[in-house]
Amino acid sequence: MSEFKALVVSEKEGGYISQVALRHIDDLPVGEVLIRVKYSSLNFKDALSATGNKGVTRQYPHTPGIDAAGIVEASSVSELAVGDEVIVTGYDLGMNTAGGYGQYIRVPAGWVLKRPAGLTLRESMMLGTAGLTAALCIDKLEQAGLQPGQGPVLVTGATGGVGSIAVAMLAGLGYEVAAVTGKATQTEFLKKLGATQVIERSALEAGKEKPMLKEQWAGAVDTVGGDILFNIVKSLRYGAGVACCGLTAGVQFQASVLPFILRNVNLMGIDSVEQPLVVKASMWDRLSVQWKTDLSSLSREVGLDDLPGEIEKIIAGKMVGRVVVNLQ
């Protein structure tokens, strides 16, 4: 087939509109690998692309979708054969390269990973960029010395994609997890994921004017940034660290060097987009075996036609857990 369905975002009358339309394979960018997409997922960056954020996507019409899992339809490299089941996350997919909200993508071979044997294509998109990011956060914290039994590990934005997966993964690995959320109605959801305590977000916003706060956390995964992030830094236990991977609460905070030089704490940045493919492969292998987590309770499935409404939800801060997009 030369035509396929895709969510296309267009700029109209000073705004942006998303609708399912037919596209032609010949319209896809050049690349060594053509993939028939089976599943994608919904991330905050996808919603930004779909609502005209020029920091994510510069030119429209455009098809978002920073994640894709599917089957190789054509390949000009020997490492990837027709019929291989593969995963693509990050790099420029869904940003300025037509992404996973189309039934076909064409991408460079250097972006493509073969599906790990321990995951189905659908399971890989329950994880997607969110799961990869959560894994990178936990890996960096453990490299810095975090171990189960050292005390509570804080997770902010805990009902979101990265946060909910981080809560479930950490609990599965034996950590005591403190989940932070602004959604008081989701306490039971977070406890089912494995959180031992649920903290109201406003509690982490108090004390931002102070240079130090009481030591509480053995480690933290922060998905929100802003002053909440620095309040976490100020309340880490001696020698502990926080992995920072998000900015929904802001890109700036009031800083002090005191926690770093008096408590020996670490602020560690996490990027899942431009990581070398070998690093991504290592994380996906762990996600498929020793870190494999049942995400069925935090995932639901939608079709292409449902995406505009789901994008409105995530922009409004009403999304909980993970949304898998079925393109079949």
Q: For residues 230 and 210, is the Cβ–Cβ distance under 8 A?
A: no
pLDDT at site 184: 84
Residue ranges making up the domain that contains 65: 3-115+295-326
pLDDT value at 1 more than 70: no
Is the same domain home to 138 and 251?
yes
Last residue of a domain, one of 235, 252, 269: 269
Model confidence over 294-319: pLDDT tens digits? Answer: 999 899 999 999 999 999 999 988 88
Q: What is the largest CA-CA distance in the chain?
A: 64
β-strands 197-200, 33-41 pairing = unpaired
CATH of the domain at 150: 3.40.50.720
Residue 13 burial (CB count, 10 A): 6
Q: 265 and 230, same structural domain?
A: yes
Res 312: pLDDT: 93
Candidate from 10-14, 115-119, 153-157, 161-165 with smallest mean pLDDT: 10-14
Is the same domain home to 109 and 9? Answer: yes
Q: Is 180 left (phi over 0), alpha (psi -120 to 50) or beta?
A: beta
Cross-strand pairs, 36:
71, 104
| Residue 105 shares a structural domain with residue 142 | no
Q: Is the pTM of this model over 0.75?
A: yes
Per-residue pLDDT tens for 57-113? 999 999 999 999 999 999 999 999 999 999 999 999 999 999 999 999 999 999 999
Report CA-CA distances (Å) from 196 to 16, 265, 290, 292, 319.
Answer: 42, 24, 22, 20, 22
- Between residues 133 and 319, the one the model is more confident about: 133
Yes or no: say if 45 and 94 are a contact pair by the CB < 8 Å rule.
Answer: yes
As a whole number, mean pLDDT of residues 246-257 equals 86
- 166-207 pLDDT, tens per residue? 999 999 999 999 999 998 899 999 999 999 999 999 999 989
Of 225, 252, 269, the domain-final residue: 269
Per-residue pLDDT tens digits for 228-238: 999 999 999 99
Q: What is the pLDDT of residue 250?
A: 82
Same-domain status, 143 and 217: yes
Q: Give me the CATH number covering residue 29.
A: 3.90.180.10
Give me the mean pLDDT over the 21-41 stretch: 96
Residue 288 in domain: no
| Residues 33 and 78 grouped into a single domain | yes
Residue 108 is predicted with a pLDDT of 98
Report which DSSP code applies to 111: G
User: Is the residue at 277 inside a domain?
Assistant: no
Same domain, 39 and 133: no
Identify whether residues 305 and 217 lie together within a single domain.
no
Measured in whole angstroms, the distance separating CA 40 from the mean position of its chain's CA atoms is 12
* Phi, psi (degrees; rounded to nearest 5) at 313: -65, -45
Regarding whether 134 and 64 lie in a shared domain, the answer is: no
Classify residue 306 by burial, with Cβ atoms within 10 Å: 0-12, 13-18, 19+.
Answer: middle
Mean pLDDT of the chain, nearest integer: 95
Assess whether 109 and 232 both reside in one domain: no
pLDDT at position 193 is 95
The pLDDT score that the predictor gives to residue 317 is: 85
- Does some domain include residue 83? yes
- For residue 242, is it within any domain? yes
> How many degrees, rounded to 5, is the angle at CA 111 between CA 109 and CA 114?
80
Greater model confidence, 1 or 49: 49
Taking residue 323's Cβ as centre, other Cβ atoms within 10 Å add up to 25
Note whether residue 276 is domain-resident: no
Cis bond leading into 61, ω under 30°?
Answer: yes
> Which tens digit of pLDDT belongs to each residue from 257-277?
999 999 999 999 999 999 999
* In-domain check, residue 122: no
At 75 the pLDDT is 98
Instruction: Report how far residue 91's alpha carbon sits from residue 109's, in angstroms, rounded to the nearest whole number.
Output: 12
Rounded Cα–Cα distance for residues 244 and 217 (Å):
15
Instruction: Kindly state whether residue 37 falls inside one of the protein's structural domains.
Output: yes
Q: 């189905």: which residue's tokens? A: 120
179 and 261 co-located in one domain: yes
In a domain, 224, yes or no: yes
**Structurally, how many domains does the chain consist of?**
2
Q: For residue 14, name the pLDDT band (cuts at 50, 70, 90).
A: confident
Same domain for 103 and 218: no
Q: Is residue 61 within 8 Å of 38, Cβ to Cβ? A: no
CB 199 within 8 A of CB 217: no
Is the distance from CB of 300 to CB of 314 less than 8 angstroms? no
